[in-house]
Structure 1
C-alpha cells in the first residue's frame, strides 16, 4: 500500500509539473493572442470588446507589407540555397573520406554555436573590405573590379543579398544535420542495384536516393524558412536601407507597443505552428 501511495503521489507531482510548465510556456502567447482582439488602443487588460480592426490595419500599412514581402523573398531564397548546399555537403560528409574531413565537419557545423551577432558583424566587415578592394581594382582598370563595383551599386551588399548570405551561412548547418541523419540510414546497395540495371550514378541518386531523402529535404526547407523569416540578430547588420519584418517590428517597438504588434504576432504564431506541424510530420516519415 505504501508503494502504491508513493507511485500515486509521484504521478500527481508529474502532472502538476506539466501543468505549471505549459502555463509558463503558453501563458504569454495566449495573452498576446487575446490582446490582439481587444478593442483597446493599448495592448493591455481590461477587456473592452472583440475587434478585428488591428488585423485590418495590417493590410493598410504599406511599409509593413513591404517588410513582409522582403522577409518572404529572403526566406524562400535562403531555403532553396541552404537545402541545395546542405544536401551536397551532406553527401560529401557521409559518402566520402578525405583528408581533413573531421575539421571540415566541425567548420560546417560551427555557425550553429556562433552567435548571430558575430556572424553579422563579420560578414559586414568582409563585405565592406571587398567593396574597398573592388573600387581599388576598378581604379587600376581591372574588369573584376568594374564587375564587383557594378554589383555593389545594386545595393544588394549590404542589402537583401547580404542578408541572404548571412542567414544561409548558419542555416546551412541545420540542413546538414537533418539531411545527414537521414542519408546515413540509406542502403547504398540500392544505388548499386540501379546502376547494375543500367542507370548512371547521377540517375541512381536522382531516382533512388533523393526520393528517400524527401522527408528530410522538406523538413529542412521548412526549418530554413522559419529560421530565416524571423531572424533578427544577423539581419540587422546586413540589411542596409531595406527592412524585413523583424526589423520593422523592432522599429515599431521603439515608439511604443501597439495592438498591431499583437496582431502581427498572432499571424506569425499561426504560420509557425502550421509549418512546424508539417515539418515534424514529414521528418518522421520513413
Structure 2
C-alpha cells in the first residue's frame, strides 16, 4: 500500500513538472533581455518585451477581432446548441439518432475541412471571406459542444415538473422560461465559457475564412513565420495569467456559494 502511494505521488510530481516546466520556461523568456525567446543564456531582467507588445497596434487589432468573433460565436452557439439539446431530448427512435449524429459530426471533422467547406459554400453565394465567415464556421462545431453540455444537464431534469406546470395552466413558453431554462443555466454558462475559449484559440477555421483580417492565433502564426521574438512570450504569459485568475475567481465563488448553500 505504501509503495503504491509513493508511486502515485511520484507520478503526480512528474506529471506536474511535465505540464508546468514549459510554461515556466516560456514565462521566463518574456523577462530575459535577449532578442531570442529563451532563458539561456540569461542576459538580464527586462520589461521591454511587454512594452513592445503594448505598442504593437497590429496585435491590439487582432485582439479586438478575436474578442468580437468569440462573443458573436457564443451569442449564436448558445441558442442553437440549447434548442438542439431540448429537441433531441424530446424525441426518440431513429430521428433522434440521425439528428444527434448530424450535430456531433462537426466535432469529429478536422478544422481545416470546416474552414475550407465554409469558405467554398459561401463563395458560391457570392459572400466574401471575412470575420463573419469565421463566426459561422466556428459556430458549426462549437454549437455541438453546447448541445452536449445541455443534453447532459437535461438527464437530471424531472419531466414531472413540466407536466405539473402545464396541468396548472402554464403555457409552454412559461414552462421554458421559468422551469426548464433555470435548470439549464449551469450547463448554458459552461457552454458559453467553453465556446468563448474555443473560439479564441481556434486557428484552422479562422485561417481559411478570415479574409484580410487578423485574430490572435493568426497574428502569432505570422510572427512565428517571420521570426519569433520574446513579445510572443509576453503575450502568452499575459494570457496564462488571465486564465489562471479567472479559474481561481470561479473556484473561490463556487466554494462561497457551496458554503452558503
TM-score where L is the length of structure 1: 0.83
Aligned residue for 1:59, secondary structure, equals helix
* Matches of 1:104 and 1:276, distance apart in 2: 34
> Where does the alignment leave 5 or more consecutive residues of structure 1 unmatched?
1-6, 132-151
State the Cα distance separating 1:177 from its structure 2 match. Answer: 0.6
Q: Which moved more, 1:83-92 or 1:14-23?
A: 14-23
Residue in structure 2 matched with residue 20 of structure 1 by the alignment: 14
State the Cα distance separating 1:166 from its structure 2 match. Answer: 0.6
Contact 1:70 1:243 in 2 (8 A): yes
Contact 1:222 1:276 in 2 (8 A): no
Aligned residue for 1:41, secondary structure, equals coil
1:3-26 deviation per Cα after TM superposition (whole angstroms, max 9, x unaligned): xxxx22222111111111111111
Residue in structure 2 matched with residue 78 of structure 1 by the alignment: 73
Distance change >3 Å, CA 279–CA 202, structure 1 → 2: farther
Residue in structure 2 matched with residue 40 of structure 1 by the alignment: 34
Matches within 5 A, 1:50-65: 50-65=45-60
State the Cα distance separating 1:99 from its structure 2 match. Answer: 5.4
* Matches of 1:278 and 1:92, distance apart in 2: 34
Residue in structure 1 matched with residue 137 of structure 2 by the alignment: 166
Count, aligned residues: 255
1:80-107 deviation per Cα after TM superposition (whole angstroms, max 9, x unaligned): 1111100000000012337522111111
Aligned residue for 1:254, secondary structure, equals helix
Residue in structure 2 matched with residue 242 of structure 1 by the alignment: 213
- Structure number with bigger Rg: 1
1:181-218 deviation per Cα after TM superposition (whole angstroms, max 9, x unaligned): 00121112222233334321111210111111111111
Residue in structure 2 matched with residue 212 of structure 1 by the alignment: 183
1:189 aligns with 2:160: yes
Q: Which moved more, 1:267-276 or 1:12-21?
A: 267-276
Distance change >3 Å, CA 198–CA 56, structure 1 → 2: farther
State the Cα distance separating 1:36 from its structure 2 match. Answer: 1.4
State the Cα distance separating 1:50 from its structure 2 match. Answer: 3.0
1:230-272 deviation per Cα after TM superposition (whole angstroms, max 9, x unaligned): 1001110000111111001111111212110001111222233
Distance change >3 Å, CA 100–CA 196, structure 1 → 2: closer
Distance change >3 Å, CA 114–CA 101, structure 1 → 2: same
* Matches of 2:187 and 2:36, distance apart in 1: 43
* Matches of 1:50 and 1:216, distance apart in 2: 44
Contact 1:159 1:242 in 2 (8 A): yes
TM-score where L is the length of structure 2: 0.90
> Where does the alignment leave 5 or more consecutive residues of structure 2 unmatched?
none
CA RMSD of aligned residues (A): 2.2
